[in-house]
Every structure is written in structure tokens, then in C-alpha cells.
Structure 1
Amino acid sequence: MKFRKIQEGKINFYVPKGRIYDAPVFFNPEAELTRDISISAIQVFQKQFKNKITICDALAGTGIRGLRYAKEITGIKKVILNDKNPKAVKLIKKNIRENKLSRKCISSKEDANILLRKNVFVVIDLDPFGSPNIFMDSAARSIYHKGFLCVTATDQSALAGTYPESCLRKYGIKSIKTEFYNELGVRILISFIILNLARYDRAFIPLLSFSTKHYYRVFGRVEHAGKIANLLKDFGYVNYCPKCLERKIGNIEKIDSKKHVFENCGLIYLGKILNKKFCKKVLADIRKRDFRLKKDEEKLLKMLIEEAEMPAFYYDLHSLAKKLKTNIPKTEVLIKKLKKRGFKASRTHFCSTAVKTDAGYKKFCKLT
């Protein structure tokens, strides 16, 4: 295996030469942004935890994620960099030595599920190529009862409604095609995490969730079983009419008084997927660092903070304009109009041409 040496953050490391998807050990350079945000999110959690933490990078690949955690986060006790691919483990060891992190980093060659079932970790990071579904039960068993869980999903086509049966098979929820597909995908992923942890008397509280490029990323704090009941109260159905784009959330509906025939998705989590206070602290931490993509990360976090208090699901103005056969005002003009009428309104990171509001479908359409 031939290598090339690159730098990301404060780490110099080796990656295989050649095309990304043909390489014997996977490394995704486009995930730098999510690695940066993960560093700041875990740092904020560590300060709240007030003790040194152990982190499990369960699917480490080249080891870049875990190495950066060890180097760039304070309050780290140990970072376990695990991969079942022997070539990956060999490369991880090489990169640990290169960065002189042998005191903090431990390489591991184990099936991720077996590793997780044998140990308890304060922080678990699941960053698979594809779906995290096959690792979630083991993560639920392994995570410390006051821990922090970070999960990536790259199978957007299943979660976002392109392949509903695939979503049902992997996540136990059948997705539907909508114009708010990215948020629906993130919420299905969060629902899956909540329900898996609830089986082991752990409450997963979403703190930071976003969609960018080809993946969904979710961060949440684990709390005691007493919080599960409140989480489950926020589960309901999304009822969606693909003909007129009407949507209703809550109880399941097949048809309403206006003869809207709804497609249904659920039960899914309809509560908050962003904690405004936590997001502000992550933004403050990012601002202290010299990340290469700092401007993009600040922009994303500002938008997440703006939409944190908004209700579930956004309105894509392009889709509505097409359906209503009308010219819709510019986004900022529409947001001001909504706020003037006493409604909450904001942009959303999920879609550059969309608005989030509590106005309701009919009132929103009238205002456009």
C-alpha cells in the first residue's frame, strides 16, 4: 500500500494513494467540516461532564477523527481507534506514531459491535460508510449513562424517501417523498437512535443535528430513563399530500375534510433536534480555533441557532411557487412579512430556498 502524507487540523497523517473509493483504507477529505464541528461539540460536552473522558472511534479508517480528538480536545483520558480491517489498523498505528499520541491513543482490531459490547465509553462516535443501523444496538449497550453519542448516516436515499422500503428495513420507519426530505431524513435517524437507547433505559436527548453534502450528522446527550416518557410524547406522524404539498403532523390521517389524500410517515420524533444553548457554545468554541473551514462552520452554526426554536419541517419556496403557480416573494421579505403578522419565521440550513415557520400551511400560502 502506497501512502501520501497530508495535514488536517493539528494532525499530519498518511492516507492511501489513489481514488478514495478504490483505496484499501477509506478516507473522506470532504468530511473535514463534520470532524471540526465534532471536535467543538465533544469539547463542549467534556466541559459540562467535568471529568476526563474516554472516546471510542468505532469505525476509524485512517484514524484521522480519533487522532484529532486526542490532539485537539482537552480533558481526554483515552481514545480508542478501532477498525476490523487489518490494513486500517496498521495505518492507524503508523499515524499514532507519526503524531506521538501513543499515551492517549489505543489502536484496536475488532468488530465494532464486539468492541462496544465488551466496554463502556463516555463518548461513542459512529461514522460508517452507509447506515449506522447495525451498530446502534451495541452502542446503546455500551454508552455511559451520562454519555455523549455522535452518529453519521450517509444513506440519504433511504432516509430521505427515495427508497422507502430500504428505510423501513434499516430503521423500522417507512420514509416518504417530500420537499422537506432532508429534515425528514434527520428526524427518522434521530427516532431510530431514541428508540434503540430507550430499550436499554437510556434517554437520547438531541443537541445538534444537521445535513450537509452527502450525510446526516446527529449529536446527543444520554440521560436517565425518567426522560424517556417525555421524548416519546414527541413522537407522531407526518401526513403529507404530494398533490398540493399540505402537511399535518401529530395523529395519523388518511384523508381530511378537504379531500386531501395523505401519505403517512411515522411514528417519528417531532420534538426539538437542536438545543440553542448547546449550539451557541459549539459556535463559541469554533471561533476560538483555527479550523481551515471556520467561516463555513460559523455560517452553519449561526443558521442552526436561528432555526433551533422553529417547529418541525420547512417550506421549500420553489416547490410551493410551482404548485401554486405564483411568484413568491424573496425569502427575507417573506420572513419579515411572517414576523410582522406575529408568526415565528427563519431560514433553514436544510434548504437554501426554504423557510421555517409556525404559520401553518394555509396561512403560509395566503401570505405568499
Structure 2
Amino acid sequence: RAASGRPPPGPGPGPASHPPPRRRRNGSARLGAGRLSPSPRSGPESDRSLLLAPPPPVLPPPRRARPAAQRRSGKCRRRSAPPQKHISIQRQLAELEKLADLNEGEFTLAVSQNTDLHVTDEKKPCPLCPEEKFKACYGHKLHRHLQNLHWKISVEFEGYRMCICHLPCRLVKPNLVGDQTFSKMGAHYHCIICSATIARRTDMIGHINRHVNKGETESRFITAPAPKSSHEVLKESDTDVQVLPNYSTPQKTDSYFNPKMKLNRQLIFCALAVLAEERKPIECLDAFGATGIMGLQWAKHLRSSVKVTINDCNENSVTMIQENCHLNKMKVKLNAKEEDNDEALGGGEQNTDTIEVTKMDANVIMHMRSFDFIHLDPFGTSVNYLDSAFRNVRNLGIVSLTSTDISSLYAKAQHVALRHYGCNIVRTEYYKELAARIVIAAVARAAARCNKGIEVLLAVALEHFVLVVVRVLRGPSPADDSAKKVRYLIHCQWCEERIFQKESNMVEENPYQQLPCDCHGSMPGKTAVVLGPLWSGALFNTGFLRRMLFEAVQYGLDETQPLLKTLVCEAECTTLKNFSTHKECGVYIKTPDTSAESCVLHGKRKNNEVVRNAAKRQKSDNSAEHPAFYYNIHRHSIKGMNMPKLNKFLNYLSEAGYRVSRTHFDPMGVRTNAPLAQFKTILVKYSTPTYTGGQAEGPLHLTEDVHMGDQVPAAADGKAGDAEFLEDDKSGDTATMFTNDCPTHCAAD
């Protein structure tokens, strides 16, 4: 540039100007990587040529290499290769044994070439244990170690085993030098999906389940099987529902579905069908929809008779309910103000059935709107929703609730029962009926706070749930009558005799006098406890149960019919042989005329005629109330004696003048109004010694006779009724049918 006469570049801006060289903190200029070294010439011309030379481009500093420990850890950047499968994740035990036969770094090469490994007689270390934990040993001992420790204590997923690992695989913070070291940690597992390090086996199982729940089951180590849908379609009572793979775990899924509750759903459907025959249309609510299976069954079978609302507070459950509605060709209305949408229902069918799906808290929707039928099925206890359920339920409506907190109701967690229900209970032979009466007592108190009374229509306590169905009677008088039926129970801890306390506010000097037994005088100490408060009224409504049985026959619910037959006999406290039959449907149902109840006003003013008819029906149905509680025949058997068959024993009690029936609460239970002393006396009378090897026709000679008293005429009437029944059915068709259709809940013989 000096030879051409051009001026040197000045400091001002311009296309020929260059930025000054960057300075270090100490003021010296930074030399680029590609800068030329100065020539050996010296003088002003050489210095000028150096100043006029263009500066080289500034290159970024070289990347600092990461420590080797960090490269082995698998915690790579986004652009790095995905982590490799850990050596503790294998398909077969043979692969783990091959890994033990290799030296460090040879396993990957041998597996890639698919070559067999040479087994020597040298001592070999465990590939998943450090040297200080498991020293090198011979092959047979190492084989037992790998099989019994690492392979057995593993987590299996998609054909792979995540074996337990004892290597120091977790990194610690870098030291002063900058390197990271491995820490001494205990046994752990490596996740095959995300390569996470989990300490405990139970935590590893939960970690894998969370991946499955989220749909994260893909891993580059797993050979992808045939693609399958994340939803599973189940069918029940001609209703299809799609659920998640973990639908049976309520704590870890949003679409809980329990196939064991099918009987519960059918009983609730029969109760709703009976109410739909009384008045149409009715507004019904499934407050805890989950998959929506119950509301879908209501709308699909009852159709225009019901207006179904399915509610759930979980957003994923609401989405699942909407998908199940479309799967069953039902229209969805998201809220009450929104009109029905005209979405395609599939198949080209025009279906006018509409289901309203809401996303609210159950207490909120029951406070906001009124319903004729409400079903509560929360997780655990339902006492938190009783006040809102009875607040706006319409007169003569029905409230059904399913309680699944059986640990507290069945006296396994007595402190929880005291906390939730305010009841003091102990484990008794009649604990299932005790659980039903506890729930009804809580329902009666909640209804009374809303100036409403209840009429118990049905109470069922089985292995997994307690179902209670009540009818709501509006007014302070029914509320007072229901509140009076909540009483305490005196229970003898020696003989398990029981009786409800008398309705009195006065303190009794000797409460043991109320018990029929004399254990307090013959046994030392305090022999009785006070349980409750419990519901002391009837548990069944005979007329309602008969109509439920009729609906079960009409809709082909074969699994529910045996249980309903048992409930009808239990409500009437009679044996199954007195149950009449019908020529067409198999069951003869005597239902009162409900034509006057077909039109019911939904306002707050009561229809006097409807209330009067309901009171008459309730009085006629409860005219012969069944005895409270039952006795288990095995609990009171005599040592060294053969008990009579249960059906024969029922006949013996009936001949003695007592009301008797079997119960669904206990397959070997007997519901009777006979005191426990008379129950044991008749049981001993018709028992035979063990060494005879058979049942004797006549009774044994006892030191204590059976005192029947005024009950002999009743026994004679019972014999006459049996003779008349047998004479009318000489053909034997009825007897044969009931022998074959005997309920499984009572088929203990």
C-alpha cells in the first residue's frame, strides 16, 4: 500500500478500516492462531509493514476436553450419542454369564461377532460387584452368585431383566483438580428406558410403571413388537369402554375400572329402572364417572326414560368419558347451557341419546343442581359427600352410595371408623351387617340435617363393597322418625348375643338386664360393650326388591337374579321354597299400582296424594320387619357333634315357631328372631355324635328341653302352609327350578 501511494487506514469508519486488536487483561495484544511471525528485518519500513498488514480472523478458543469419568457417566450433551445399555440389563442368564467370562472391554466385541467365550478355570470377578464386595472366585461359585443375587433380584420389562448392580455408578461433585469420581453407593438398578439409577427394587417397579402410564415404553434396546393401542376396550352389559392398561390401580390411573364391581353396577341399574317406571323422565347423576361405564349403561338401556349426567373432577377421566360416549354412539353435551353438537357418531346411525359430561367437584354439582337419582362411588368413604347429596335431591328420589373403605367398616381399622362415621365397633360374627348399619346411620344423620327422612330400600355388604340404596322423604316428620332409629347396640363379648338399647334418655342402673343371655352373672368382669350408633330399622324393602328382580329378568341380568332372590327371602324372613314362580319370566312379582305416582311434581311443594301412597306402600312393605342380625351356625357348633344340614336346620327352627331365613351377608348365617339360647338348644337337639358317621332321624336326649310356649300354633301354621305348598306343586317343576336356581350366595351346602 505504501508503494501505491494510498493513505494508511485511519481510525475513522470506512470499508478499509479494521478494528483494533483485542487486548488481554494485562494490556498485551492477543495473537491469533494464523498470524504470521515478523520477518527478521528491522527498521521503520519493517515496522510500518507490520502495522499495515491486515489482521487475521479471530478463531474461537478450542473446546476443553471433558474428564473421562464424565464421558463414562452417560450424561452427554444433546448432540452426543444416546447412552448405551448398561451391562446389568440382559435378556437371559447365559448372557450375564458370558459377561462374567470376559475381560474388561471384550464383551461388546464378542456380542457383536456372536462368538462363544472360552471358559477357563481361573478365578473371575463378578461384573456387577466391586472387588471389595465380591472377590474373584471360580466358575461354579460365580454362577451361583449371578443366579441367586443378580438374576433373581431383578425387574423384568418387555423380555429384559434389569439386574441389581453394586458398582459405583453414580457420580459425585468434582474435586479441586476438576475430575469427577465414582461414589460408593449401595445396590441399585438401571432403567432400560431412561437410564436412570434407582436405589430400591420397589422404587424401580414404580418407576417403570410411571413410564408405562405415560406411554413411554420405547427404548432403542427393546426390539419393537407389533404396535398395540395404549387403550384397551372392555365390554360389560352390551356397553363398550376403553381404559388405560393400568385401569385396575386407582391410585395410579385416571380411568379406574374394576370388573369385580359388575354386580354392584347391575344392582344400581335395577334400582334406577324401578324408579324410571314410577316417573318419567328422571334426572340421574353419576358423581364419580371414571370411565363412565355406569352412566353409559343407564342411557343405553333406559334411553328416553332418563337424563344422564356423568361427572368427574379429573380432566383425563372426562376426556375418556367423552371418547366412550362416542364409542357407544352417544351424543355428548359438555354443560347444561350448551346445545347438542352434531358430531358424526359413526356407522351412519341417527341416535338421539345424549349424555351430559361435566368436570366439577362432586359437592359443587350436587349443590348447584337438583336430581332424582344420585349415585356416589368415591375412593374410600362417602361421608364427605352426603350433605351435598341430600341438599338438593328431589322428593321421593333415590340416593345410592357405594363404600369401598371395608378396612374401617369391617372393623380392621376401628380408629378410622370412629373418625369417619363416629361409631365404636369391634369385630363380630355379624360384622358385614354391622357395616351396612353404620353407613345407613351416617346417611340418616346427613338427611336429617337437611330436614329429610330416609326409607332404606336395599343394603348389600359383600367382599369388596357396601352398597346402600335409600329413598328420600322430604319433611321434618320423616327426618325425626329416621333420627330416632339411630340407636346404640349392646354386644356380649362371650356369647356374641346382641340387642339394641331401649329408646330412653334415662340412665339405666343395670344395662346388662337388656341382654337375653346371663353371661354377666356367670362370667367374671365386664362382659358387654356398647357399639354404635347404628341404624336399628329395616335393611330391605320387599316390594322394591321384587320390582328390582322383575327388572333384572326383563333386562337379562342373570348374575344379579340369585342375589335378588336371596334378598327377597331375607326381607320376608322366609325360606326359598315359599317363593312363587311365573309362567313367562320365571318369577312372579306382586307390585303395587304406581300409576298415581307416574306424575310427580319436582317443586318444593309436596304432592299430598303421592306422599300418602308412598306412606301406605312403606307401611305395607314394612308390616313384618325382618329380625336384626344373624347367627353363624359354625360359630355355635358343638365339639364332637355333627351339625345338621343348614336347610334342615332352618326347617327345625321354623317348626319351633320362629321366623327364619338365610342371609347374603354370610353363606352359613341364619337370620332368625330366636334368642341365642334357643338357637343353641335346637342346634344341639338335632346334632349327632361324630362317631355315628351319619345323621340320626330323631333328636338326641338332652338335659334341657326346648321351651316353645305360645309358639306352637305358629309352628302348626307353618306346617300347614308347607303342606299346602307341596300339594299345589305336585308336579315338582317349581321345586326343581329353585333347586337349580338356588343363589350362589346361599349355596353353602
Output the TM-score relative to the length of structure 2.
0.47
CA RMSD, 1 decimal: 1.9
Query: Is 1:275–2:525 an aligned residue pair?
Result: no
Alignment of 1:41-190 (within 5 A): 41-48=271-278, 50-102=279-331, 103-190=353-440
> What is the match of residue 193 of structure 1?
443
Question: Match for residue 480 of structure 2?
Answer: 229
Question: Counterparts of 1:20-59 in structure 2 under 5 Å?
Answer: 20-21=248-249, 22-48=252-278, 50-59=279-288
Contact 1:202 1:228 in 2 (8 A): yes
Answer 1 or 2: which has greater strand percent.
Answer: 1
Secondary structure of the 2:494 match is: coil
Q: Deviations over 1:169-202 (max 9, x none)?
A: 1112222211100000001101111110111011
Q: Secondary structure at the match of 1:68?
A: helix
Q: Distance in 2 between matches of 1:172 and 1:327?
A: 42
Q: 1:325: Cα distance to partner? A: 7.5
* More off after superposition, 180-189 vs 36-45: 36-45
Amino acid at match of 1:315: Y
Q: 2:676 aligns with which of 361, 365, 368?
A: 361
Q: CA shift at 1:11, angstroms?
A: 1.4
Q: Which residue of 2 aligns with 1:317?
A: 633
Q: Distance in 2 between matches of 1:236 and 1:31?
A: 31
Q: SS of the residue aligned with 1:97?
A: helix
Residues of 1 paired with 2:265 and 2:485: CA distance? 30
Partners of 2:300 and 2:649 in 1: how far apart? 45
**Which of these two proteins has the greater Rg computed from alpha carbons?**
2
Matching of residue 308 in structure 1 with residue 571 in structure 2 = yes
Q: Equivalent residue for 1:4?
A: 232
Superposed CA offset, 1:28-56 (max 9, x none): 111111111211111101212x2201111
The one-character-per-residue Cα deviations of 1:264-293 (angstroms, maximum 9, x if unpaired) are 1122111111001110110111011233xx
**Alignment partners' CA distance in 1, 2:330 and 2:398:** 23
Greater RCO between the two (CA within 8 Å, min separation 6)? Answer: 1
Amino acid at match of 2:400: C
Q: Secondary structure at the match of 1:37?
A: helix
SS of 2:667's equivalent in the other structure is: strand
Which structure has the highest helix share of the two?
1
Which deviations, in whole Å up to 9, do the C-alpha atoms of 1:2-23 show, x marking residues without a partner?
2111211121221111351043
Q: For 1:330, which of 628, 645, 652 is the aligned residue?
A: 645
Give the SS at the match of 1:121. Answer: coil
Q: What one-letter code is carried by the residue in structure 2 that aligns with 1:99?
A: N
Seen in structure 2, the aligned counterparts of structure 1 residues 148 and 325 have a Cα distance that, compared at 3 Å, is: farther
Structure 2 portions without partners, runs of 5+:
1-214, 216-229, 332-352, 503-507, 521-525, 573-625, 684-749
User: Do 2:460 and 2:468's aligned partners in 1 also have CA atoms closer than 8 Å?
Assistant: yes
What secondary structure is seen at the aligned counterpart in 2 of 1:191? Answer: helix
2:560 aligned to which of 290, 294, 297: 297
Structure 1 gap segments, 5+ residues each: none
1:169/1:311 CA distance change after superposition, 3 Å = same
Distance change >3 Å, CA 248–CA 239, structure 1 → 2: same
- For normalisation by structure 1, the TM-score amounts to 0.93
Q: Any idea what SS the aligned residue of 1:152 has?
A: strand
Equivalent pairs counted in the alignment come to: 363
Partner of 1:242: 493
Q: State the Cα distance separating 1:77 from its structure 2 match.
A: 4.2
1: distance between equivalents of 2:633 and 2:263? 27
Q: Secondary structure, in 3 states, of the residue corresponding to 2:395?
A: strand
Query: Residue 286 of structure 1: which of 552, 556, 579 is its match?
Result: 552
